[in-house]
Structures are given as C-alpha cells and as structure tokens.
Chains A and B, each alone.
Chain A
Amino acid sequence: MAICATDSNGLPSAPSNITIIGTSASGTDTFTLEDITWPAVAGLVSYVSFVATQDDLICAQATGTLTAGPSNTYTPGSIAFGGPVLRSTWALPSPYVSKVRIKAKHEIHGGVIGGSIDSVSAGTLVTGYLQDAPASTNPSWTPVGRIISIIGRPEGDTPYFSAKVTSWDQTTGTLGVTPDPNGIVQEGDCSFCGLLPMPQTPRIRPPLPIPAARTTSIPTA
C-alpha cells in the first residue's frame, strides 16, 4: 500500500514508501495505515490510496479529504482500507515514466462469433449472427455463459462494455445479458462472443512440460 496527497487540481504528491501488509487467508481483513505525516506544503485537499495484491498491479483504490491544520499539517492521521481491491484503475505516480507508447497488431481469433448488433433493449441484445440453430456438427453449442464484448462502432467512440450471456433464443438471435447493455450498446455496434475453453470437453490442452533447454527461452511477444 502507498498513498499520495493531492492538491485542488488533482496533482499528486510524490508517493509514500510502499508498505507491505499481511492479510489473512480469508482476504476479508481491514487494515489501517497509522501515524501518517502528510507533506508540509500548502494547498493539499485530498489523498489517494494505492493498494494491490501483486507488485505490478498497484493502483488507486480510494480517496478521501484532507483537512488542513496549523502550519501546513493535515488530518486524518490514519487511513483504513477494507477492500475489495480493484484490479486496474490508475497507477502509482512515477517520476521515471518518460512517455506513453501505443502498439497495435492483428487479432487472429477474438471469439467464436463476430457480428453486428441489430437492436438493444433492457437486458437484451439481438444479433442476426446468432439467429439460427447450432451447426449439426456441434448441436449442443450455446453462447450462454460466454462473454460478449463490444469492440467497434461505425462512427463514434466504442464503449467499453462486456457482458455475460445468460440466455439465448436461437429463433430470434436474442441474447439475455448482464450487465444491462441498454443505453450503452447501439444498433450497428460490432461484437465478439468470447473464446472459452470447454469445461466438458477441454479444447485447450495443458501446457507441455518445459524441456530444460527451454526454461531460459523468452517467448516472442
């Protein structure tokens, strides 16, 4: 865990040292960071706490208000955190970051079905790409249980939306999904129905044992 103070513009202070905190196996603990000394500078208004269960995932979890006292001191002097730990928000500020790099590559397989959305209503998506019976070679196939993600919009920003398919009417191509796509997804959006390993008949083989000669190889990524 680490913390930053922030000013009225949202600019953070240098982060505190990272504190390693042990929790019980239940993962339901609450811990309190005590005896906090905030930077003795004027204008601080709030704080952000950064928490993760893995070093590389430390990111913002909670915010609170700082109350100014005499001589550029601030309270609270302690912060409690009880989770849950969000996996991805924004990272601990780092003075070492020099720039941002965006990369792109072709996606070879993004899902089992890709198609456009024909209509949206409360809790449902309709797509003609799923308006049919499964192939005779795999008659028990169903999208139920898979994740459907919106990955494109013809004109405009693509929403960041994924939902779990809870029902399927193959005669109409209607999918029941959760969370509710209404108001987020639009007609014409492009969707993928995600790849899943099949629990009954595993399609993904477990990895091969690694030969000794391979243990030092680096995958091309």
Chain B
Amino acid sequence: MTPGAEVGNLIRVIQGVSRGTTPVKIVANTATTLTWDLPMVINPGDVWIIKEPTWPYSCDTTSLDNGNPLAVTTINMPTNNFVDETLVIVGFTVDVNGNESPDGDAPIREDWVFGAEGLSKVAGLVFQMQGTLGIESNAAQPLYLNRPVTVGDVKAYVQSAPTGSGIRFTIYVGGAAWLTLTIPAGQTAVVATPSQVAALSQIPANTAVSIGITAVGSTFPGADLSVFIYA
C-alpha cells in the first residue's frame, strides 16, 4: 500500500467475528499496516475488504406491497460505464420514514465489472505530426484498432497554417487510400463533409491505418498537423 493512501476508506469484515458490524474508517496506513478509528476485532482467518467511503450509486424500488418473502425482483442500477472495476453492491430495506436498515447487516456482493468500451463519438484514432510538414508517404506511425469502427467524423488541424497552397493528406486503411482531405492555404483546419463521411468504409480491426502527406504549402508548408478520426 502507498502510505497514507487508504486514509478515509472503510474496512468491512466479510468473514469472521466482526462480520455484520458497521464498517470502520481507516485513519492511517503504512505500506503494511492499517489503523482504524473505532474498535473492531479482526482475527487470523477473518476476511475483509477495503472500500471507498461514500455510495456514489443508489437506486430505490418503488414502494413495496409484497407479502411474499421469496418473490424475486430485478433492480437496474445505472452506473458509469466501468471497465475492469470491482464494485461492492449492498441491499438495504427502507421503512416508511426513510430509515435504512443497518449497513453492517446488509447483504453484500463483490462484483467485477468486465465492461466494454463505449461507442460514443470520441476520437478513435489520432495522427500527430510535429514540426514543419513535408511530403512523405508515412508521415506518422501506423495505428491499429481492436475492433471494427464505423467512422462518424474526420477532422484535421495545423498549428501553423500553410501559405501559398494547401496541405493535402491521404489516410490509408490496409494500404488502400481511404480518405483525402486538404487544408487550404491560410487555413488551420479541415473537416470531412457529411457526404465524404457517408462514403467511408468501416475500418476493420487489426488493420494498419496510416497517413501520407501528398502536398504542403508552397510558401510555408505548415506545421504541427493533427488528424482526428472519430468513431
């Protein structure tokens, strides 16, 4: 453990004499020891966990009118889109006055969330070419995706605009030309048009995506080019 890093987190015993007691707060830790605030016995053989102090996620059922103690219900609790995270999930009962059942008595589960990367519109690939630009076939290191991606947008920016003529670059997928864009002279950005985007093929997984610069400004080439391919 990193000294001091656990301060404020909670210890909960899940097997042993202190199972069922209210979690206690860590007030100090070294690399190999923990100190907590209130008396709680942990014996050899007991099993315990460390969890964060607050409950970021909570979900209530509607009011219950259920006389069957064995009835099964499903409760969906929205959380962030976690990837490879462990959550502690706990169930409480709440009375008509809003009082929760005690934390220590609550049934708990540890749950590993495998998750998956989202499909929101975020940059899927970024090429960056620093310094003054020149014509070159492999202007940046090729990139690879771990899953097929349907592209929603392509944008490019330069920090210093080309003069005299524009910067033209081509993106290649698997060695085949995929999209060519031009940043006009005196401009610092270009965005693929909707018709260009609509015509783009899906980028397959595990296929080299590369970029070549085929023209630069005739007076000043332009400098520091970034090309964003958004999913």
Contacts and interface: CB of A to CB of B under 8 A. Distances in A.
A56 B104 CA distance: 10
A209 B89 CA distance: 31
A102 B58 contact: yes
B50 A107 contact: yes
A93 B25 CA distance: 32
Contact of B38 (A11, A160, A197, A207): A207
B54 A102 contact: no
Given A105-B57, A205-B34, A220-B25, A99 B91 contact: no
Interface stretch (B111-119, B121-129, B164-172): B111-119
B94 A102 contact: no
B111 A98 contact: no
B10 interface: yes
Contacts of B67: 11-12, 93
Name which of B6, B22, B38, B61 has the most chain A CB atoms within 10 A of its CB.
B38
Interface string A116-139: 000000000000000000000000
B24 A106 contact: no
A133 B20 CA distance: 36
A89 to B, nearest CB: 10
A219 B49 contact: no
B67 to A, nearest CB: 5
B88 A105 contact: yes
A100 B53 contact: no
Contacts of A57: 20, 105
Contact of B64 (A99, A109, A158): A99
B61 A204 contact: no
Contacts of B59: 101-103
Given A100-B60, A106-B51, A210-B39, A147 B15 contact: yes
Interface residues of A, number: 59
A110 to B, nearest CB: 5
A1 interface: no
Contact of B37 (A146, A154, A217): A217
Interface stretch (B95-103, B142-150, B195-203): B95-103
Contact of A106 (B62, B86, B95): B86
Contacts of A101: 58-61, 91-94, 100
Contacts of A76: none
A195 B27 contact: no
Contacts of A108: 6, 9, 49-52
B48 to A, nearest CB: 5
Contacts of B56: 104-106
A221 B10 contact: yes
A104 B33 CA distance: 26
Interface stretch (B68-76, B155-163, B186-194, B216-224): B68-76
B55 A104 contact: yes
Nearest to B14: A194
A98 B51 contact: no
A48 B196 CA distance: 70
B93 A97 contact: yes
B83 interface: no
B141 to A, nearest CB: 31
Nearest to B88: A107
Interface of A: 9-12, 54, 56-57, 60, 88, 90-91, 93-94, 96-111, 114, 145-147, 149, 151-152, 154, 158, 160, 190, 192, 194-199, 202-205, 207-208, 210, 214, 217, 219-221
20 contacts: A9-B68, A12-B67, A54-B20, A93-B67, A100-B64, A102-B75, A102-B77, A103-B57, A103-B90, A104-B79, A106-B52, A107-B86, A108-B9, A110-B50, A151-B111, A195-B48, A197-B43, A204-B33, A205-B33, A219-B23
Q: Which 7 A-B pairs have the closest CB atoms?
A: A152-B112, A199-B44, A190-B112, A109-B50, A194-B47, A107-B86, A104-B57
